Amino acid sequence: MKNKKNSWRIAYIDGKFSKYKETDFWRLGPMKNFPVLFSLSLVMFVGIILTIVFK
């Protein structure tokens, strides 16, 4: 699974369904080395801290 670069997506565009490859943006940067739940928790805590600081 780590070698997977693209995901197939199906979109309804202009009255028809079409398949296209889409890169998984969440797994391209530094987050690719972390488990998904940990990286989502990290983003949540950063969001909470930024909300408190800039409130």
In angstroms, the CA 32 to CA 25 distance is: 10
pTM of the full structure: 0.47
Report which of 4, 41, 38, 1 is spatially closest to residue 24, judged by C-alpha positions. 4
Instruction: State how far the Cα of 2 lies from the Cα of 38, in Å rounded to an integer.
Output: 17
- Residue 49's pLDDT is what? 97
Predicted pLDDT of residue 36: 77
Regarding beta strands 6-13 and 16-23, do their DSSP bridges make them parallel or antiparallel, or are they unpaired? antiparallel
User: pLDDT by residue for the chain (55 residues), tens digit each?
Assistant: 455 556 677 778 788 888 877 666 666 666 667 787 888 898 899 999 999 999 8
pLDDT for 27 equals 61
Domain boundaries of the chain, sorted by first residue: 6-53
pLDDT for res 45: 96
